[in-house]
Amino acid sequence: MTSDIPVRIRPAIAALPPYKQGRQAGADAFKLSSNENPFDPLPGVVDAVRSQVALNRYPDATASRLRHRLAERFGVAPDEVHIGSGSVAILAQFVLAAAGPGDEVVYAWRSFEAYPGLVAVAGGTSIEVPITADGRHDLQAMADAVTDRTRVIIVCSPNNPTGPIVTQAEFDSFIARVPADVLVILDEAYFEFVTDPAAVDGEKVLAAGAHPNVVVLRTFSKAYGLAGLRIGYAVGNSRVLDAARSTAIPLSVTAQAEEAALASLDAEPALKDRVANIAERRDALVNAVRDQGWRIPDAQGNFVWLATGEQTMTAAQAFEEGGVIVRPFAGDGIRISVGEAEAVDKVIAIAASIVETLPEGHSGRALA
C-alpha cells in the first residue's frame, strides 16, 4: 500500500487516503457539496477585508480584538476564547493535545468526515459509535464506550451529514456520566441554523459552569459565509484552551479573516435574515421530499441527508446530470446543502425521480 511513497512516512499516515476536495462545480452547475453559504459576504465585510493591506506584517497572534468581542457575547473572559483558522484547525489542536498513541477518541459515526483523519494524525484510536436509524447520536452508547483510555469525546450538533440535533436534556444526562477529566468537544458548526428549541446550546452549558471539561466550537464558515477566509473559535476553560494554543501552528489566523469576522458580527440583523431564509428553504425542501416518499432525518443545519444506501453513487450521478453537485458517501447516503432558491427547486425535482427507483423497503423510503 505504501510502496509508492519514495520516503519513510509514519505507517498510520501512509495508510490514509490522499485528501480529495468535493468536486468543483462547472460554470452552470450548483455546488451543494460543502455546506457553503449561497449568499455574498455580509454588508461591510468586503470593505473590512480591503482595509487590511499591511500584507508585509504578521497578524496579531491571538486575534485579540475578536477574542474580546466574542468574550463579551458569551459573558466569559477573553482567555476563555481561542481563535483558529477554521474550527477544524482547533479540533486538530485539541486532538493533538489530548490523544496520543494508545488513547481513544469517541465520536458518533457517521459524523463529520474530518474526525477520523484528525485522530489518526495524532496517533490516537478512533472509537466510532453508530448513530441511530434516524441519524441521531446515541449518547447512551457513547457514554458506554468510555474507557480509562478515553481522552476526547466529540459531540456534533446538528450532526454533519445527517442533520439532527442533540437535545439539551440528552446532553445533560450524557455529560453527567462522562468522567470530569475527559475533554468533551461540542462541535456546533451549524448552531445558527437550528430552529428546534430543545437543541443543546453550548453557551448555556458553559454558563452553567458545572463542566470545565466541555469546550464549544463554532465557526464563521457556515452561517456567516466566510468559509474562504478560514476562521472559527472555541469557548471554554482557559487552561483547557491553553492546550490547543500550545499545539496550534502560530500566526495562522490572518488579519483579513479577523477583520471580516468582526464586520460580520456587526452585521447581525442581515445575518439573522439570511439564516432564517436558509432555514425556511431547508424546511420546505424537507417537506417536499418527504411528500415524495423519502424517509429523511430531521434537518437542523443548512443541509439535508438522503439515505440512498447502495443506490448512492447512481443517485449522485442523477443529481450531477441535473446540474447539482452533491456530497455522496458511497454505500450510505447523500448530503445536499441548502443553496440558492433555484438550486433547491432542482434538488426537489431530481429527488422525485430518484425515489421512484428505490425498491420497496429501502432505508431511504418511507413505509407506504
Ligand X SMILES: *Cc1c(COP(=O)(O)O)cnc(C)c1O
Burial 125-149 (b: 16+ CB within 10 A, else e): bbbbbebeeebbbebeebbebbeee
For residue 200, state whether it binds ligand X (rule: CB under 6 A): no
d(CA 214, CA 212): 5
Which residue in the set 37, 62, 157, 221 belongs to the binding site for ligand X (CB under 6 A)? Answer: 221
For residue 300, state whether it binds ligand X (rule: CB under 6 A): no
For residue 320, state whether it binds ligand X (rule: CB under 6 A): no
For residue 87, state whether it binds ligand X (rule: CB under 6 A): yes
CB of 305 to ligand X, least distance (A): 13
Which span sits near ligand X by CB under 6 A: 51-59, 142-150, 221-229, 336-344? Answer: 221-229
For residue 202, state whether it binds ligand X (rule: CB under 6 A): no
Burial 255-286 (b: 16+ CB within 10 A, else e): bbbbbbbbbbbbbeeebeebbeebbebbeebb
- 137, three cell numbers: 447520536
CB of 153 to ligand X, least distance (A): 14
For residue 37, state whether it binds ligand X (rule: CB under 6 A): no
For residue 112, state whether it binds ligand X (rule: CB under 6 A): yes
Residue 79 in contact with residue 62, Cβ under 8 Å? no
**CB neighbour list of residue 148: distance below 8 Å, 6 or more residues apart:** none
d(CA 33, CA 10): 31
Which residue in the set 86, 202, 236, 333 belongs to the binding site for ligand X (CB under 6 A)? Answer: 86
CB of 231 to ligand X, least distance (A): 7
Which span sits near ligand X by CB under 6 A: 24-32, 39-47, 86-94, 142-150? Answer: 86-94
Burial 214-242 (b: 16+ CB within 10 A, else e): bbbbbbbbbbbbbbebbbbbbbbbeebbe
- 90, three cell numbers: 482547533
CB of 331 to ligand X, least distance (A): 21
d(CA 264, CA 231): 12
Per-residue contact string for residues 148-167; x = within reach of ligand X by CB under 6 A: --------x---x-------
Size of site (CB under 6 A) for ligand X: 14
Binding site for ligand X (CB under 6 A): 35, 86-88, 112, 156, 160, 187, 189, 219, 221-222, 227, 232
